Structure 1
Amino acid sequence: MEGRVGPQTLPAASAYSVAAAALPLAYVRDIAERTAAARTGQVIGMAEVNAVRDMIGMFSDMDERHGGQHGCSALVTYLRDDVAPLCRGRFRTDEIRAQMLSAASRGVHLLGWKSYDAGQQGLAQRYYLQSYGLAVESGLPGHDGFVMRTMAMQGLKLHRPEHCQGLAETGLTRAKGRVDSQTEALFRVVHAHTLAKTGLSAAALAEVGRARALLEQGSQRGDEVPLWGLAWGPVAPSVFSRTAKVFETLGDHRSAAAEYLHAAATRPAGTYARIVALDLVAGAELYLKRGRIEQACATFGQAMDHMEGVRSVRTRKAVKTMRADLAPFRARGFAARPSWTSGPCRSSPPRRRRPGVRGPAEVTPVLGWSGAVVRDISLAPVRDGPCRAKRRRGAGIPDRFRAARVWRYGY
């Protein structure tokens, strides 16, 4: 019988209850009862739409805090077993049906985003196409264009810009004048990024200016942003982060770093841990390109603080890239020394130094040599101590082995 939990439905029911652990049990039962009622032909109203929105919102919050590899199968189960039957049900009005299809599109869009974050780009693209179909069927102004915007962003990230400008322009055309000012700013800033990628610098900067003006205008008026427009949280940090990518593409690393840090500072860090960490890493890389090593290390240390508990291919790649970027500075005689009371490290405890031998001075956080995240470590040129009468430890051995000693012990 439909709606009954039996052996065949046990895995789906288990996944559903685990995913909904953050919600009150009574509310979870209410959602299940509404889905069962839809299967039996009961007319669907806004209460069911709001239930789906709340569940998708819970999945979205979990994704931002813990990364795309958390809860993916549970979201698939929920969309397949609960949302799909609701979309096939009978609705009180056409407007309620449109809102339900839009909520379903938002859920599939999130599934595409989770796949993207897990490094499954082909699967993400297929989910985006399904989300686009549901958005088109809903008929809500701008929603289909928003999915096109997301697909343009994916192409830019993968360095496949062949159709990105066309997607961004078409998405903007479908939203312009039909959505609020803040939501239109989201479309314009991605369009600016595609213009920058094609070498149209003046047009890109002009579009960034229009996006910022729309953002300020909508913020002052208190425009209500549609649910699908909040896929990555508050609008302002999303605009700042994408603006940073425009400046980075145009070679303005100073402005790009400032925008990345501005975006990270304006997001609620507890809810959006992953994107805050990625913005900080991007800012740290730009500091490094400008030769500002201490600021790069400090910013990278802040990013690492936000990555705890996040399961994301993108964050792992960001850490790997930052390590590679810092490697040349290690080879130039920079040493790292951990604070042994602040974080896990697999190396041996510190050795007591001989009197007169100075070690590196404490400066900024960076990643330890063992690969463990250490909060307080030093990065400074190693200087020889004043004791020159005796043979200096490490003298006479090849430079590459002395570098390893310096790297490990600090002298």
Structure 2
Amino acid sequence: MRNEQLADHLARSGMSRAELARRIKAKAREYKQPHIAPGVTRIRCWIEGEKPRAPIPDIISDVFSDHFGFRVTTYDLGFGEGSSVDSALVYDTSFTATVKAVAELGRADVDRRKLLAAAPFAAVAGVGPSRDWLMNTLDQEPTSGPRVRLEDVTAVKSMFETFQRMDIFQGGGSGRLVLADYMTQHVYPLLRRTHTEQVRRALCEAAAEQTYLLGWMAYDSGEHGVAQRYLIQALRLAEESKNAALGAHVLAGMADQATLLGDPQEGRRLAQAGRHGLSKAESPACLADLWCLEARALAKLGDKVAASRAVVQSETAFERVRPEQEQAWAEFIDPAYLHGEHAMTFRDLGEPKSSETHALRSIEHAHAQKRARRGAMSQAALAVSHVQRKDVDSAYAAGLRTLTLASQVKSTRAVEAVQDLRRRMQPFGKNRLVADFNERALAVVQAA
């Protein structure tokens, strides 16, 4: 039977069959599937009703999503339900579908399935979730099974602090698979059981917190496709919990990722969506973070005035923070974190003096807390501020401190900070200190 849905999407896209084949081949390389290279004849066969083998339907859906600027699923293309890789990118209005998607994602992560590890970051996937979260239009589907008690939820929430502190002090690569296994074996099954409304919301909140943490750990490990999928599902669970501040916190993570991956305009939009959502909640720490991340995005966009203003807004919001009144997930939003991020904002704006000031404040707090990852990233920002002022000796000293701290954690971001510093030192490559730093840095990168 002819696949009218695929034919219709192809016609509306304006692409020829040859162009679609070319884009599928290119997208397959992103999935680390270079053997997938269909020709025009194969495209014709698919339109005539032949169903391609996995993961080709997921790849085709990504091609059309990139082209149209909104998420096109395998179901939309007449291929039926896609893999957990694809379904985890969908912000589904069905709570049952959300539970299924996040459970499948967790299992795939624990099993380290190759398709999940190779799944690329989908640039357009954040548009729908942030919009739908703000619109707050969700269904409430009944579940069945043994009733979950508040005591069960309390046990889940008690684990969050342990895993969050593991991430803060040891890096995202340290405990993520342990957390993924805990969520898959214990927490996600609870979502399928029956609850009172009070328990259901509390359980969704606890699950959202830890699903976000899984995404953040994947982000810190450089697995951005995996991270994105966890964050989208965390946002959906946060919406189900009716915790607006938690949803805004998830959007902050999505904003950070978008900016890091080269789309600061999307990063800014996601941060703004989070701030709008906070109009229904009170969390000065989350607000400070959202302003901070908007500043990061604005700096990448080259808007010096707006970025500096956003830093001031972040600092103003943080003055109102009372730690005992904040939720557990906000623990990391402190002077070590915020000053470190502000240092990188001014680094990107080419203002080394302001970058140095914030970097030193971050380093002081991170050292007192023994936070090696944050210390490494802020030492790297400090080193860059010296490079920008052509002070190679000071840059070298800060660079060595960066290497020492980066080697103490399992964090791709810390390693990337080392690599970024190496690139920025290249103009001074003939300097003996730079040569020595490069040699030491290479050892740290290779060890990671």
- In structure 2, the partner of 1:377 is none
Where structure 2 has 5 or more consecutive residues not aligned to the other structure, the ranges are: 1-106, 111-143
Structure 2 residue corresponding to 1:166, chosen from 266, 269, 292 = 269
Post-superposition offset of 1:199: 4.0
- Is the contact made by 1:145 and 1:175 (CA closer than 8 Å) also made in structure 2? yes
- In structure 1, the partner of 2:326 is 225
Superposed counterparts of 1:5-404, under 5 Å? 41-45=146-150, 47-92=151-196, 94-176=197-279, 178-219=281-322, 224-230=325-331, 233-267=332-366, 272-332=371-431, 366=437, 368=439, 371-372=442-443
Relative distance call for 1:125 and 1:370 in structure 2 (3 A) is closer
Q: What is the TM-score when the length of structure 1 is the normalising length?
A: 0.66
Structure 1 distance, partners of 2:441, 2:334, is 39
SS in 2 for 1:142: helix
Deviations 1:275-315 (A, max 9, x none): 22112112212211211222212222222222334222222
Deviations 1:199-239 (A, max 9, x none): 443333223222212212335xx661112323xx1433222
Structure 2 distance, partners of 1:327, 1:191, is 30
Q: Which moved more, 1:254-263 or 1:300-309?
A: 300-309
Structure 2 distance, partners of 1:295, 1:256, is 14
Relative distance call for 1:167 and 1:310 in structure 2 (3 A) is same
Q: CA RMSD in A?
A: 2.9
Relative distance call for 1:168 and 1:320 in structure 2 (3 A) is closer
Amino acid at match of 1:115: A
Q: What is the TM-score when the length of structure 2 is the normalising length?
A: 0.61
- Is the contact made by 2:249 and 2:274 (CA closer than 8 Å) also made in structure 1? yes
- In structure 2, the partner of 1:353 is none
Post-superposition offset of 1:268: 5.7
Q: Greater CA radius of gyration, 1 or 2?
A: 1
- Is the contact made by 1:186 and 1:238 (CA closer than 8 Å) also made in structure 2? no
Q: Which moved more, 1:147-156 or 1:309-318?
A: 309-318
Deviations 1:293-346 (A, max 9, x none): 222122222222223342222222332333344455451455878xxxxxxxxx
Amino acid at match of 1:212: E
- Is the contact made by 2:252 and 2:290 (CA closer than 8 Å) also made in structure 1? yes
Amino acid at match of 2:283: D
Higher helix share: 2
SS in 1 for 2:259: helix
Where structure 1 has 5 or more consecutive residues not aligned to the other structure, the ranges are: 1-11, 16-38, 338-365, 374-411
Relative distance call for 1:41 and 1:271 in structure 2 (3 A) is farther
Q: Which moved more, 1:55-64 or 1:274-283?
A: 55-64
- Is the contact made by 1:180 and 1:223 (CA closer than 8 Å) also made in structure 2? no
Relative distance call for 1:200 and 1:319 in structure 2 (3 A) is closer
Post-superposition offset of 1:179: 1.3
Structure 2 distance, partners of 1:370, 1:272, is 20
SS in 2 for 1:217: coil
Structure 1 distance, partners of 2:265, 2:442, is 38
- Is the contact made by 1:151 and 1:167 (CA closer than 8 Å) also made in structure 2? yes
